[in-house]
Structure 1
Amino acid sequence: MPEFFPFIPGTEASRAARQHAADSSPLLGRFRAVPRTRNSPRSHAQNQLGLLGGPGGRGSVHVGYGALVTAGLEEGDRHGSRPADDSDSDSEDDTGLLRRQRRFWRTSCRRLNDVWISPRQTAVKRAVDTWWGRWGNLVFLPAGLAIAWCSIPFPQYPLDPQDPDHIPGPPSDSAPSPGHRAPGHGEARVQVNFWFFLFVYYGFYNLTALIWITKVFNLYSLNWWPSSLGFPLTISLIAAVSILGPIPLYIFPETRFLTVHNTAWISWTFLIMALPVGIAFWILMTHERHLGLRHSLSETQRIFTSSWWTGDTDTMIPARGSRGHLRVDIGAFDPHAGFEVSTDQRGRHRHRPALAERRRWLPASFVRFVWFCLALLVGLFAYLIGEAYAEIYLRTLPHNNFETIAYVYSWIVTVHLLDMLTGWILGASEDERVGSYPLSWIFKLYFMLTYQTYVRALYARLRSPEQFIWLQALSSGFLIILTPIQMTPLFHRILCLLGLTGQSYGSYLKLQTRNVFIRFLAENVSMITFLGSILVLHYGPNKDVYPYFAFDGTDKYYDFDLTMTASVITWACELVAGIVLRALIRWFFGVDATAEGKLDLAVWPELLPTAVAAMLHVLQNMMFSIIRLHFG
């Protein structure tokens, strides 16, 4: 009988077992399943890091559960296995065009379901296995949806000449009055139809946000909606609230001034996105998931607990790591007290130390959910902070070279601090707070793309090629030099000595390689969206709705040619820097960042639709922060 993986005895709480086995390897009773790696010229190093040697996993550092699933996928590829195809079940009478049409629609619907609705590992693996599949699904798809969303033509009307907040005259001839400083995203040039904005533009924006939150809950394996209502009705009600809520602000003249501020709309979306988190928390509280008393003890079990003497039939689930033993305060017992069983009802409630103990105890699942909610709130606050940051930057234009670098890297530091906080909350091991690798993958993408989108929008307000050169030189230099240094065993050992990580080197190298793949996605999808939005907004019908990309000569500092040319050159430099970095990682560490990303998506297929939803949501944030709203 072939041996697929060895068993390593130990407990889940054993630190030595956690370091020897993968952080994400499944616990089978008292044993951990650790995959057997292949022999290669670098057998010792690969065995230490868990490197896979198959054609699909060559150069990957997948370990534990990921390695087991990857090995199964590779085995299926070698044997040519594929999901059952019922396209051949047509009757022999169906021939020609009709049969081909049925086969096409059946195959298309199955692929749509297997990749986007109910993702399957084999289907997702095929979808991202080629470079054009990865670029199409993870880069061009979210970028195309974001560009199409912002290019929907708005019903527009001329500004009211009696409006004291705006200067009459054609948009091309308008100039700020003395003592008035126009915001960096431009003065409003036209009136926009409020109802079109609310139901179409803002409606799609909120729908994407709700889908993104729902997909994150799917990764957490928890439904946030009440089971009595179901998902379609619950999300429809929340979508209706998101649309109906701002209507009173527009109807009453006293509050209409709030509708022209982008921050007010984004804050309302923040509250809408927080509703699923609040609903899920409310459901758990109403079901008393925070008490851990969901099952009654049998008569035999009660013999070994205080419930035999107190008459209580509830159970108390032991604390994590206690291995089935109740954590009872020894100081609560008097060794000299006589044995007495109280039949009085008041005495029964007075002598119940176990029940008093359970009221101070929270089950691990509930604590894990609280950490998960905290990570979500940090992520939601990130784009509120980003909107405020963009507003401050745009209100203080123009900037010199030093001010530009200071603004950019202050935002970089802010995003990375929030990213580190979220990464600590989610945890890297299964016994740390949330302990979910797929969630950490998605949040890393979320923060990386949040940082990239605001940097891209900044490119439209750089005044000279020197500013582009300085920003790109610093960005590419830090990427190529610092990333390999951070992946060395010495750097990992220093982090361990400082107490900043408790991971094995193999798990640490896996996360660092994964981050390189995620940065590749964030850079490319944000740059394609930026370039595409400049084209469709500069030449399209929404030019006056987005004066940020107008470049029509009203501002002497910024022009279309400089922005497009310098941005394309910057993108080319980023592609070259990414190729050089992946080559260095492959050379020094024997790890392929592309293979690592592909196998992540195949092992956890739900990552693909969740990543696309997250990218579309963040890209919409970039466009929403620079739109100029003025309703008639």
Structure 2
Amino acid sequence: MFQALNQGDEHDSQYDDTVQFSPGRFRIHPTNTNTNRPPLPSPGEPDERTHLLFGIRPTKKQVQEWTHVTWKRTLILNVFPVAVVLAWCAVPFPIYDPSGTIKHFGSSAYTNVINIFHLPNHDDNPVEINFWFFLFFYYGFYNAIALLMVTKMFDLYSLNWWPKWLGGCFAYVVFWLSSLIGGVIIYLYTNLVKYNLTWVLLTFITMNMPLLVGFIVIRGQTSRIPYRFSFTLAQKTFLERQLRQSKYRMPSSYVRFLWFCFTLFIVIAAFIAGEAYTYVFLTTPEAHTGVDAFVYVYSWLATIYILDAVTEYIIESRVKSYPLQFTFKLYFFMIYFIFYRNLFARLRDPDQYILIQAASSLWVCIFYPLCMTRTVHTNLVCFLGLRKDYDEYKKQCGRSFFIRNLAENATMLGFICWICIIHYGPNYDVYPYFKFNEAGNPFDFSLTLKMSCIIWAFELASAGITRSIFRKAFKHSISKSAVKDFDEYPEMVVAMIVIIIHVLQDMLMALLNLNFKEALGSNYKP
């Protein structure tokens, strides 16, 4: 019975015209036909097109100044966010001489479970760091960026369900302070403070606080608004009696928000899954071969593509927000590439680099141009029900490759710079992952740096070849298309910068050796 209704919704719009009945009259409010914008509000609903943040929304003129020139666009989207992260990780930690050999704490069963999240290559006597510096500066800044990223996602969504008394800035400060208070409680009353995953999960909870508040508010407001089903001609003919038995329905804005919450939860949880996946690979005692690294990289790549496809479908067909599509895709590409980069610090010989990079270059030069062909578009239309015309589909393929290049360059620039800063800087002892002093491993810092630069050169070359194919064979410039998107949606630029900063910080946060002085479970006694 409801299959025909769903088909009607899909053919017309995800959000039907809403009929609101009031005493003696009713009114029909049409939805917005532009799938890149939120639908117009139904009677009795607030306007979803209002924005949460105004202070960090650049104007169209500012964005044009940043993005219309290639070197400025590179500076804003690649160099600036990386520079912020490098400055953050270069600030020296207050450290103390080790007070003795650090032993694992807790019961043996508990320790065996949680140790899979503890990074390898830790020294027998790791230095002790000051917890309060970590909490208020290192973790505090990291958590502030993570929360800002989620706030920008709400802003791109144009959230109107946020309570006025809980303004954007006030809520941001409250959530941030709550996470720091949670960190103090963990430090004072638990022995989980020394595990990286503890702090990652605390940030995960912090990032989901706006989702919880928004859901509670929208649930309370929606329960007081009556809505009736609207019917197409066919539905009125065949289904009116059955559908009239269901007196109320959820407003379209509520449905959009539920889909938005679900998608944002997937996006936030993806990094947790990625870290667990990485730790399993890094903490296995045996040395990994080139085939192992190859399987690791491309199994994670497949996971990222699946998650990206699911979220893109939801955002495009249910939430209907082009800026969110753009930024979520950047987030997934950043996650993939940052894990890929840090794998370089655990490879054993140049052959492993060659195997991984050869596959990557061939993938780029063959897969993306192949996807842009009319044949692939026709098959997608015929067999998978794609509803985009060829020009729109070609733009989508180009957008995906532009975002891939952006994530590729930002993560490689960040990796090369921070291994230099950490290896030669004051924080050498608190990042044992980048010490490159593993016994029996000839692949030292200089060789890792050299091979990483060579890989980056190959990536730039393969990207240049692919862009040239796009221009000559398909008459499409991905940079010009991206600039048009920035002009139309200037609010995306700040969100993209924050995403890049957050993902880079997240990896460094996961690789930090958390051995706090005077922490519960430490051998140090004042």
Which TM-score applies when normalising by structure 1? 0.69
Q: Is the 8 A contact 1:224 1:276 kept in 2?
A: no
Pairing partner for 2:159 from 216, 222, 225: 222
- Counterpart for residue 593 of structure 1: 478
Post-superposition offset of 1:327: 10
Does structure 1 residue 502 correspond to structure 2 residue 387?
yes
| Cα deviations by residue, 1:466-492 (Å, 9 ceiling, x for unpaired) | 111111110010110111111111101
How many Å separate the matches in 2 of 1:616 and 1:422? 21
- Counterparts of 1:317-396 in structure 2 under 5 Å? 317-319=228-230, 322=232, 330-331=240-241, 357-359=246-248, 361-396=249-284
How many Å separate the matches in 1 of 2:411 and 2:144? 20
Pairing partner for 1:543 from 428, 432, 451: 428
* Paired residue secondary structure (1:388): helix
How many Å separate the matches in 2 of 1:330 and 1:317? 12
Pairing partner for 2:312 from 406, 423, 427: 423
Q: Is the 8 A contact 1:480 1:580 kept in 2?
A: yes
* Paired residue secondary structure (1:260): coil
How many Å separate the matches in 2 of 1:17 and 1:331? 23
- Counterpart for residue 404 of structure 1: 293
- Counterpart for residue 319 of structure 2: 434
- Counterpart for residue 103 of structure 2: 164
Pairing partner for 2:199 from 265, 286, 290: 265
| Cα deviations by residue, 1:150-182 (Å, 9 ceiling, x for unpaired) | 11111111222164349xxxxxxxxxxxxxxx9
Query: Measured at CA, do residues 194 and 620 of structure 1 come closer, stay the same or move farther in structure 2, by a change above 3 Å?
Result: same
Q: Is the 8 A contact 1:448 1:518 kept in 2?
A: yes
Post-superposition offset of 1:201: 0.5
Post-superposition offset of 1:117: 2.1
**Structure 1 or 2: more helix by fraction:** 2
Which TM-score applies when normalising by structure 2? 0.83
Pairing partner for 1:240 from 177, 181, 190: 177
After superposing on structure 2, the runs of 4+ consecutive aligned residues of structure 1 that deviate more than 6 Å are 28-33, 325-328
- Counterpart for residue 139 of structure 1: 78
Does structure 1 residue 279 correspond to structure 2 residue 213?
yes
| Cα deviations by residue, 1:586-605 (Å, 9 ceiling, x for unpaired) | 11110001111111111100
Q: Structure 2 stretches of 5 or more lacking a match? A: 1-7, 15-28, 38-52, 106-117, 518-526
How many Å separate the matches in 2 of 1:358 and 1:135? 54
- Counterpart for residue 402 of structure 2: 517
Q: Is the 8 A contact 1:125 1:599 kept in 2?
A: no
* Paired residue secondary structure (1:123): helix
- Counterpart for residue 211 of structure 1: 148
Post-superposition offset of 1:559: 0.7
Does structure 1 residue 413 correspond to structure 2 residue 302?
yes
* Paired residue secondary structure (1:246): helix
Query: Measured at CA, do residues 327 and 602 of structure 1 come closer, stay the same or move farther in structure 2, by a change above 3 Å?
Result: farther
Aligned residues with identical type, % of pairs: 35
- Counterparts of 1:11-160 in structure 2 under 5 Å? 117-160=56-99
* Paired residue secondary structure (1:631): coil
Q: How many residues are aligned here?
A: 468
* Paired residue secondary structure (2:99): coil
How many Å separate the matches in 2 of 1:317 and 1:211? 37
Q: Structure 1 stretches of 5 or more lacking a match? A: 1-11, 19-27, 34-62, 66-112, 167-181, 294-315, 333-352
Q: Is the 8 A contact 2:414 2:504 kept in 1?
A: yes
- Counterpart for residue 184 of structure 1: 120
Q: Is the 8 A contact 1:142 1:612 kept in 2?
A: yes
Q: Is the 8 A contact 2:345 2:436 kept in 1?
A: no
- Counterpart for residue 357 of structure 2: 472
Post-superposition offset of 1:393: 1.2
Post-superposition offset of 1:123: 2.0
How many Å separate the matches in 2 of 1:405 and 1:559? 21
- Counterparts of 1:554-569 in structure 2 under 5 Å? 554=439, 556-569=441-454
Post-superposition offset of 1:229: 2.7
How many Å separate the matches in 2 of 1:272 and 1:17? 34
How many Å separate the matches in 2 of 1:475 and 1:162? 43
